[in-house]
Amino acid sequence: MSESNKAPLRIGILGAAAIAPNALIGPAKRNPEVVVAAVAARDRARAQEFAGKHGIGQVYDSYEALVTASDLDAVYIPLPNGLHGRWIRAAVAAGKHVLCEKPFTANAEEAREIATLAAESDRVVMEAFHYRYHPLTLEAEKIIASGELGTLTRVETALSFPLPKFADIRYDYDLAGGALMDAGCYAVHMARAFGGEEPEVVAAQAKLHDPRIDRAMSAELRFPSGHTGRIRCSMWSADLVRISATVVGERGRMRLFNPVVPQMGHALWVKSESGRRLRSFGRRPSYDYQLDAFAAAVLRGEPVPTTPEAAVANMTVIDAIYHATGLPLRLPS
């Protein structure tokens, strides 16, 4: 390994986003291989305030300046959904590795374009489904693969939380908003991960904030092997808070409590022919595990599961759910 590969991974943040301290800045302080070295925002004063608060050394005047900076190795993109694709393209073109918040792009077509671009480069492009790297999720996958539950019959996943601030960008169609895009991308991702296959959307029902924006969504799924599924998500509905995944097989049942942010408290419950058990896996944040994986992929070429190709599959299901409700697909901003 070269001396340059041993050096810390230097990451710049596009936007002074509220998610960045938990998703990247804090984990980087606990990871000796990573340094958050720069930030850029549309408002330089805001970027300077953010940098001062979080101990970030460099402030750039624009996203373009940060993406093309020669002293950065990677870019973290926590921008509104509709801007993800544009800045992934720019970062890869500038030779940067990318960690992009979910959902990866505005729709599946854009995700396919980005996946092709990433495949043609030698850069790591990773979607930030942090829950996927936590021991809770890894153990659930092992249990399913072991056959303890038997042949799968049903997978149900949910992420609902209240967001009554309707001026929030997550309700903005022009920024590729909607409950399915925000909360639902997790529910779809978990259904695919625990269902083990790419599902078909059988039916879907939306509760609307306005004619183009869903505030809640549910969908019925069917997997190629015959098991069925259901996803539920909400930013504003009677289902105020629900974060769970349930996997049912012919010989057992497994439920995950709070698989999305397990550091806030979680549990894995299994009932099978082997008996019943309840497990948890500590309070280390899922974001820390994710950053470990990103650094390992960049510095040592280790594989990750949240690839652009996997993002295409997730966005394909999201698009199909929107089609099933008659709502328009989200578009790049």
| pLDDT per position as a tens digit, 234-283 | 999 999 999 999 999 999 999 999 999 999 999 999 999 999 999 999 99
Percent of the chain with pLDDT over 90: 97
Report d(CA 268, CA 136) in Å as an integer. Answer: 7
Task: Report the alpha-carbon angle 257-258-263, nearest 5.
Answer: 125
Report d(CA 272, CA 229) in Å as an integer. Answer: 20
Report d(CA 77, CA 132) in Å as an integer. Answer: 18
Q: Tell me which residue of 99, 92, 35, 41 sits closest to 65, measured CA to CA.
A: 41
- What's the pLDDT score for residue 1? 33
226 Cβ contact list (under 8 Å, min separation 6): none
Mean pLDDT of the chain: 96
Q: Tell me which of 6, 53, 96, 102 is the catalytic residue.
A: 102
* 213 has a pLDDT exceeding 90: yes
β-strand partners of 3? none
**pLDDT average, residue stretch 93-106:** 98
Is there a catalytic annotation at residue 142? no
| pLDDT per position as a tens digit, 113-171 | 999 999 999 999 999 999 999 999 999 999 999 999 999 999 999 999 999 999 999 99
- What's the pLDDT score for residue 2? 36
**pLDDT average, residue stretch 61-88:** 97
* 294 has a pLDDT exceeding 80: yes
* 320 has a pLDDT exceeding 80: yes
Where do the H-state alpha helices sit in the chain?
3-6, 20, 26-29, 44-54, 63-67, 84-93, 108-120, 135-146, 179-182, 184-195, 286-300, 308-325
* 15 has a pLDDT exceeding 70: yes
- What's the pLDDT score for residue 4? 37
- What's the pLDDT score for residue 153? 98
**pLDDT average, residue stretch 319-324:** 98
* 5 has a pLDDT exceeding 70: no
Q: Other CB atoms closer than 10 Å to residue 214's CB: what's the count? A: 28
218 pLDDT band (50/70/90 cuts)? very high
* 7 has a pLDDT exceeding 60: no
Q: 3-state class of 310 per DSSP?
A: helix
